[in-house]
Each structure stands twice: as structure tokens, then as C-alpha cells.
């Protein structure tokens, strides 16, 4: 993509000087994120990497409006975000499925609060189930599914609302290596399909190889309090070879930044 095209791309969400602390009432509040300035643009796959506990999950929650920063603002399409952003949805590391609901019912939860009738919710859910490779499992319960299938349900539930921005918090880290490799490919496949939402993906991971393999840009956070140490563009053409020397050079460079 040329530079001129890039400048025409829309800024979707922006964190301006965001600071987050827990334990405000305590003598020494615990500052988790400090002075975070970050924007996400159309057609970008952005990864956020950093050591455990540096505030990656907190940052995603703030971006979506699930958590409020003590200082700074979140802008969505240049308007200050107030409350949960309906145009975003989240995929969780632990899948977060309801065990008493079957696959299609879990997926339908992604449409809660949307102005669709029961039948329309079912129709949309069945459609996304097909796209995500869960066909035939509509009536299955989470306990009957493998980890990989459970995360497909998590992904389907996030995608059913056709989010403009898909947020993923360590989506592959609870899966075995073979399953995670497979699901990563599927996510990239969906991402490459211009007919499908989302417009941007923001993924938190502690796996640098995964970040380099999947992303257009990587945001490296420092340890507590989390600040942005560096942003790295990944200009390796897609589809990428996960074992290429070029990719590993970047993996080494980024791993060296994480302290
Ligand atoms: P990461 O996802 O990078 O591992 P988190 O965003 O989950 O980090 O957490 C960052 C820090 O904030 C950790 O020290 C964690 O213990 C603390 N923290 C997270 N959520 C809460 C909360 N609800 N109340 C108090 N402390 C929290
Ligand atoms: Mg986390």
C-alpha cells in the first residue's frame, strides 16, 4: 500500500495521554498505565506486547470503554468515548463461554442489546458459525468442545456483531501449539477477506513471534507502570513465512526491547 493511500485511512480509535491506577483510596495508588498515546487506524492489525502485568489487558479494556482511565481520554472516530463502545468486541484468553448455553446460544450473546429480533439473531449467528468453521456444532455445549473449538465460539461471538474493531486478549495462549497455529491461520484468513468485518484488529499477546507473524504494527509496553517503549512497523509482505529469517530478525529485535 502506498503512502498516499495510507494517509487517507481513517483513525478509528485513539487513546490520549491515558493513565490508569488501581487503589485510588490507598496511600500509594498502584499506577498500571501511564501517559499512553496510541491510535488505531483502518485496515491495521496491531499487536500489543509487553511483560506480564504491564497493563496490556487493562489497555484493551480502556480502549473498549469497559474500564475508565484516571486521566486522559479515549476518542472513537474523533468523539470522546463515553461508556462501552458498541462497535468493538473482545475475544478472551479463557474463552468466557457460558457452560449452560450451547454453541449457537453462546454466539447469540454477542448480539445482546442489538436491535434484532430473535429470528434475525439466530440467522446471523448461524451464518457466522459457518464462516468460523463450527458448522455441525450448533447444539453442542462447551464441555463437549476442545479448546480450539471453544475459542472458535469465542471468535464467532465477537464477530457476530460485525465489529468495526476486534479486540483479542491473548486469544491463542490457552491453546496447545498445534491448535494455536491452526487458529492463527484461520484468523489471518478472515482478516484477509475484505468482505468481512472488522476494519482493524488489536491483539494483546506475550508471544513476540505471533505478534510479528500476524501484525502490521507492534506496540511494545514497558513493565509497571506500562508506558509505550516503542512502536515497530512490520513491513513483511503477506502471506508471511513464519520461519523466515526476516521475521526472526524482528522477533529478536522486539524481544530485546521487552524488559
Ligand atoms: P497484563 O494483561 O499485561 O498481564 P493487566 O492489565 O491484567 O496486565 O494488569 C496490570 C496490573 O494491574 C497488574 O499488576 C494487576 O495486578 C493490576 N490489576 C488489574 N486489574 C485490577 C483490578 N481490577 N484491581 C486492582 N488491580 C488490578
Ligand atoms: Mg492480560
Please give the mean pLDDT across all residues of the chain: 94
72 within a domain of the structure (yes/no): yes
Q: Tens of pLDDT along 187-236?
A: 999 999 999 999 999 999 999 999 999 999 999 999 989 999 999 999 99
Ligand 1 midpoint to CA 22 (Å): 8
248 within a domain of the structure (yes/no): yes
End-to-end, the C-alpha distance of the chain in Å comes to 33
Can you give the pLDDT at residue 8? 82
130 within a domain of the structure (yes/no): no
Distance CA 176, CA 235 (A): 28
| pLDDT exceeds 50 at position 9 | yes
Residue whose CA is closest, atom 15 of ligand 1?
53
| pLDDT exceeds 70 at position 121 | yes
Can you give the pLDDT at residue 1? 43
Can you give the pLDDT at residue 6? 54
250 within a domain of the structure (yes/no): yes
More confident call, 258 vs 8: 258
Question: Ligand 1, from 15, 53, 211, 227: best to mutate by most atoms within 8 Å of Cβ?
Answer: 53
CA geometry: angle 128, 129, 130, nearest 5 deg: 85
Is the CB–ligand 1 distance for residue 55 below 6 Å? yes
Distance CA 251, CA 207 (A): 10
2 within a domain of the structure (yes/no): no
CATH number for position 227? 3.40.50.300
Can you give the pLDDT at residue 23? 86
35 within a domain of the structure (yes/no): yes
Distance CA 101, CA 34 (A): 39
Residue whose CA is closest, atom 20 of ligand 1?
58
Can you give the pLDDT at residue 7? 65
Q: Tens of pLDDT along 43-99?
A: 999 999 999 999 999 999 999 999 999 999 999 999 999 999 999 999 999 999 999
Question: How many domains is the chain built from?
Answer: 1
* pTM as predicted: 0.95
| pLDDT exceeds 80 at position 122 | yes
How, if at all, do strands 217-221 and 200-204 pair? unpaired
Domain coverage including residue 35: 9-87+199-255
| pLDDT exceeds 50 at position 4 | no
151 within a domain of the structure (yes/no): no
Distance CA 11, CA 41 (A): 4
Longest CA–CA span in the chain (Å) reads: 55
Question: Ligand 1, from 19, 58, 224: best to mutate by most atoms within 8 Å of Cβ?
Answer: 58
Place of cell 442489538: 114
> In the structure, what pLDDT confidence band is assigned to residue 27 with cuts at 50, 70 and 90?
confident
Q: What percent of the chain has pLDDT over 70?
A: 97
**Ramachandran region of residue 111, left (φ > 0), alpha (ψ -120 to 50) or beta?**
alpha
78 within a domain of the structure (yes/no): yes
Distance CA 40, CA 200 (A): 7
Is the CB–ligand 1 distance for residue 56 below 6 Å? yes
User: Which cell numbers in the block locate residue 131?
Assistant: 464462516
| pLDDT exceeds 60 at position 2 | no
Distance CA 211, CA 50 (A): 11
Amino acid at each position: 500500500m502506498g503512502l498516499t493511500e495510507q494517509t487517507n485511512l481513517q483513525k478509528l480509535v485513539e487513546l490520549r495521554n491515558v493513565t490508569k491506577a488501581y487503589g485510588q483510596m490507598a496511600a500509594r495508588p498502584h499506577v498500571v498505565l501511564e501517559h499512553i498515546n496510541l491510535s488505531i487506524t483502518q485496515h491495521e492489525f496491531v499487536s500489543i506486547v509487553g511483560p506480564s502485568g504491564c497493563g496490556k489487558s487493562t489497555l484493551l479494556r480502556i480502549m473498549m470503554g469497559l474500564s475508565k482511565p484516571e486521566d486522559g481520554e479515549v476518542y472513537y472516530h474523533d468523539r470522546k468515548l463515553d461508556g462501552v463502545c458498541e462497535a468493538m468486541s473482545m475475544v478472551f484468553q479463557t474463552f468466557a463461554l457460558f457452560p449452560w448455553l450451547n454453541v449457537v446460544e453462546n454466539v447469540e450473546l454477542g448480539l445482546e442489546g442489538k436491535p434484532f429480533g430473535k429470528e434475525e439473531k439466530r440467522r446471523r449467528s448461524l451464518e457466522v458459525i459457518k464462516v468460523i468453521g463450527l458448522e455441525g456444532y450448533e447444539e453442542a455445549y462447551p464441555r463437549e468442545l476442545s479448546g480450539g473449538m471453544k475459542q472458535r465460539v469465542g471468535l464467532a461471538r465477537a464477530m457476530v456483531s460485525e465489529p468495526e474493531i476486534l479486540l483479542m486478549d491473548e486469544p491463542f495462549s490457552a491453546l496447545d501449539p498445534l491448535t494455536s497455529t491452526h487458529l492463527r491461520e484461520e484468523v489471518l484468513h478472515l482478516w484477509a477477506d475484505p468482505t468481512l468485518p472488522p476494519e482493524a484488529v488489536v491483539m494483546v499477546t506475550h508471544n513476540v513471534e505471533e505478534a510479528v507473524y500476524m501484525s502490521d504494527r507492534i506496540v511494545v509496553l514497558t513493565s509497571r507502570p506500562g508506558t509505550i517503549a516503542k512502536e515497530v512497523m512490520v513491513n513483511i509482505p503477506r502471506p508471511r513465512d513464519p520461519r523466515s529469517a526476516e521475521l526472526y530478525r524482528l522477533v529478536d529485535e522486539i524481544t530485546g526491547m521487552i524488559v
